A = this chain, B = another copy of it.
Amino acid sequence: MAVRDGERTKGAILTAAEDLFARQGFDGTSMQQIGEAAGVARSTPAYFFRSKEALYDEVLARVVARAEEALAAGRHQGEERSPDDAAASYVNALVDLLSRDQNLLCLVQRESLGDGNRVAPFLGRLAEEAVEVFTPAAEAAGISPHRLVLDMVALSWYPLAHEHTLLPALGMKPRKPAFLDEQKRHLADLLHALTRGGGRSPEHVPR
């Protein structure tokens, strides 16, 4: 194994920076901390990435690329299934992604406390894709696909974004597999209830 390997070092710095930026935010993280966490000198992160901001941009880009890959897989998995199954499959992929990739959630959350400019393109694509996936289900339910996307994302996102605040107060542990399974079931049931029950005959809720 090479003692000096630029790509490996860059990777280590990116990973360390991602964890620290996610946990402490941009302002709360110093290049010194990043260097220490990556096992390099204080000045090495700047050597490879020019500036703290450029490093942050690359961290974000990598996280977003991971997310898009995961969601594309979830979308592909639901192809050629019934409308609400396709939607449920996409929601499952979203729940899995958010619960697995804590850094993604934290970083996007932090960005959305700013102006959100840096993640806007990513969310634009996500929204477009999700609307496409949910449109059949939304038509069956007689509601706007945008509304359906918003509700599903909100219900998937919120518990994990507030796992240390409201969720403990409600006695819930949103990262436990038991919760995540129930969460997926709950969202799928909601979709079913809307498309079967909400559209025409509200009295009967299947499943």
Instruction: List residues of A whose CB falls within 8 A of some B CB.
Output: 25, 27-28, 106, 108-116, 119-120, 123-124, 126-128, 131, 146-147, 149-151, 153-155, 157-159, 161-162, 164-172, 182, 185-186, 189-190, 193, 196-198, 200-207
- By a CB distance below 8 angstroms, the chain B residues around A111 are 165
Instruction: List 9 extra interface pairs beyond A25-B25, A150-B159, A193-B197, CB under 8 A.
Output: A25-B27, A27-B28, A111-B165, A119-B165, A151-B155, A186-B207, A190-B206, A198-B205, A204-B206
Q: Which residue of B lies closest to A115 (CB)?
A: B164
Chain copies in complex: 2
Q: Which residue of B lies closest to A198 (CB)?
A: B205
Q: Which residue of B lies closest to A187 (CB)?
A: B206
CB A19 to nearest CB in B, in angstroms, measures: 14
Identify A197's interface contact among B116, B150, B203, CB under 8 A: B203
Identify A166's interface contact among B123, B165, B169, B190, CB under 8 A: B123
| Distance A171 CA – B111 CA, assembled complex (angstroms) | 19
Q: Which residue of B lies closest to A162 (CB)?
A: B112
Main secondary structure of the interface of A (DSSP, over half): helix
| Distance A172 CA – B127 CA, assembled complex (angstroms) | 11
Find out whether the CB atom of B193 lies under 8 angstroms from the CB atom of A172.
Answer: no
Find out whether the CB atom of B204 lies under 8 angstroms from the CB atom of A207.
Answer: yes
* A and B contact pairs by CB, cutoff 8 A, 13 listed: A27-B28, A119-B165, A120-B168, A120-B169, A127-B170, A150-B166, A161-B161, A190-B206, A193-B206, A196-B202, A197-B197, A204-B206, A205-B206
Identify A116's interface contact among B106, B151, B165, CB under 8 A: B165
Find out whether the CB atom of B113 lies under 8 angstroms from the CB atom of A170.
Answer: no
| Distance A201 CA – B123 CA, assembled complex (angstroms) | 38
Q: Which residue of B lies closest to A169 (CB)?
A: B127
Find out whether the CB atom of B25 lies under 8 angstroms from the CB atom of A169.
Answer: no
